[in-house]
């Protein structure tokens, strides 16, 4: 199903992005000032700072330090967190499940709402209901995700006190974060499914199906929707990749202990090893997510299957 040349290309891109990201990060970290100062903390004497500098190797040339860091990364050594001394990579991996969980729930809810709604909008082209829904969607797209989160908290947590506003615990804590994420991802997906459905309905193969006496229902379910949904897989994949890395603000608002939240915390605390580890894990996640998306596309679309087979 996957041609070897394509996989090699993908791996090469992955390696490139990873190395580039780690390099940029390394020089950024060095630019932000003296890491020895950060590690030593406030009120440390110059002697202590100097000792730390030697211990961590900050006194060597930049190039040597870069080489050392890269070598260590290659061996999987991400160092220890500067805030609590725990292994940096471990800390990041411990936060990953929270983000994965949020992403999975949001993705499921998104699909549940957007697919039917988009398909409905795609085939019902007139009517007040349609105009109303599209109007709501337009307005919703104007709301940034974190604004929606704050407004929801305002209403449901602070105001009505129906739901907790922070933390990751029982189902009650999932509601607001998931809804926040879904409400800014859904409008785009709905629009795409709508456009695909509308295009599929006008396609020639629908005319063929009609000429065999298929009912509108049968046409919609058997012929139109498979095509429309296929086109949406790319966007769904992109949204998944985004959720794995981009829920920074939402996680912060809800104190949801995921990797976005960890990124903010560690960058504000100048906890370099953790920042490095977070970025690393994010890049890996994105590539994995993209690979899965492509696999799903190949699975569902016979045209891609055929092409891949021909190319390998």
Binding piece for other proteins, criterion CB under 8 A, among 30-38, 47-55, 84-92, 98-106: 30-38
- Write out the two tokens for 262: 């960890």
Q: Is 84 exposed, middle or buried (0-12, 13-18, 19+ CB in 10 A)?
A: exposed
Please state, in angstroms and rounded to a whole number, the distance separating the CA atoms of residues 98 and 252: 13
3-class state of residue 33 by DSSP: coil
Angle, to 10 degrees, between the axis of helix 171-201 and the axis of helix 145-152? 130
CB of 181 to other proteins, least distance (A): 14
Cα separation values, 203 from 158, 208, 228, 236, Å:
50, 9, 11, 23
Please state, in angstroms and rounded to a whole number, the distance separating the CA atoms of residues 230 and 228: 5
CB 191 within 8 A of CB 112: no
Q: Which of residues 209-248 bind other proteins (CB under 8 A)?
A: 209-215, 222-223, 226-227, 230, 242, 245-246, 248
Binding piece for other proteins, criterion CB under 8 A, among 70-78, 89-97, 103-111, 275-283: 275-283
Closer by beta carbon to other proteins, 20 or else 54: 20
Closer by beta carbon to other proteins, 51 or else 163: 163
Q: Which of residues 57-76 bind other proteins (CB under 8 A)?
A: none
Site string for other proteins, 122-161 (x = CB under 8 A): ----------------xx-xxxx-xx--xx-xx--xxx--
Q: Is 168 left (phi over 0), alpha (psi -120 to 50) or beta?
A: beta
Which parts of this chain interact with other proteins (CB under 8 A)? Answer: 13, 16-17, 20-21, 25, 28-29, 31-33, 138-139, 141-144, 146-147, 150-151, 153-154, 157-159, 203-205, 207-215, 222-223, 226-227, 230, 242, 245-246, 248-249, 252, 260, 263-264, 267-268, 270, 275, 279, 282-283, 286-287, 290, 300-303, 306
């Amino acid at each position: 199903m996957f041609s070897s040349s394509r996989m090699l290309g993908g791996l090469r891109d992955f390696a490139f992005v990873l190395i580039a990201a780690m390099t940029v990060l390394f020089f950024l970290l060095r630019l932000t000032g003296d890491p020895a100062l950060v590690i030593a903390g406030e009120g440390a004497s110059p002697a202590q700072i100097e000792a730390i500098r030697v211990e961590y190797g900050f006194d060597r040339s930049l190039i040597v330090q870069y080489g050392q860091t890269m070598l260590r990364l290659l061996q999987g050594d991400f160092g220890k967190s500067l805030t609590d001394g725990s292994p940096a990579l471990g800390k990041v991996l411990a936060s990953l499940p929270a983000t994965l969980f949020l992403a999975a729930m949001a993705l499921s809810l998104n699909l549940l709402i957007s697919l039917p709604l988009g398909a409905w909008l795609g085939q019902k082209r007139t009517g007040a209901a349609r105009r109303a829904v599209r109007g709501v969607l337009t307005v919703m797209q104007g709301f940034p995700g974190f604004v929606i989160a704050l407004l929801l908290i305002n209403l449901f947590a602070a105001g009505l006190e129906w739901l907790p506003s922070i933390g990751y615990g029982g189902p009650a804590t999932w509601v607001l974060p998931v809804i926040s994420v879904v409400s800014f991802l859904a409008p785009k997906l709905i629009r795409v499914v709508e456009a695909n459905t509308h295009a599929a309905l006008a396609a020639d193969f629908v005319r063929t199906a009609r000429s065999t006496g298929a009912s509108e229902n049968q046409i919609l379910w058997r012929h139109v929707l498979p095509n429309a949904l296929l086109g949406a897989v790319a966007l769904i994949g992109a949204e998944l990749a985004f959720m794995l890395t981009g829920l920074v603000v939402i996680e912060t608002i809800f104190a949801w202990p995921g990797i976005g939240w960890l990124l903010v915390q560690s960058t504000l605390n100048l906890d370099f090893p953790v920042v490095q580890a977070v970025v690393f894990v994010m890049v890996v996640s994105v590539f994995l997510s993209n690979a899965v998306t492509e696999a799903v596309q190949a699975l569902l679309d016979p045209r891609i299957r055929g092409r891949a087979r021909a190319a390998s």
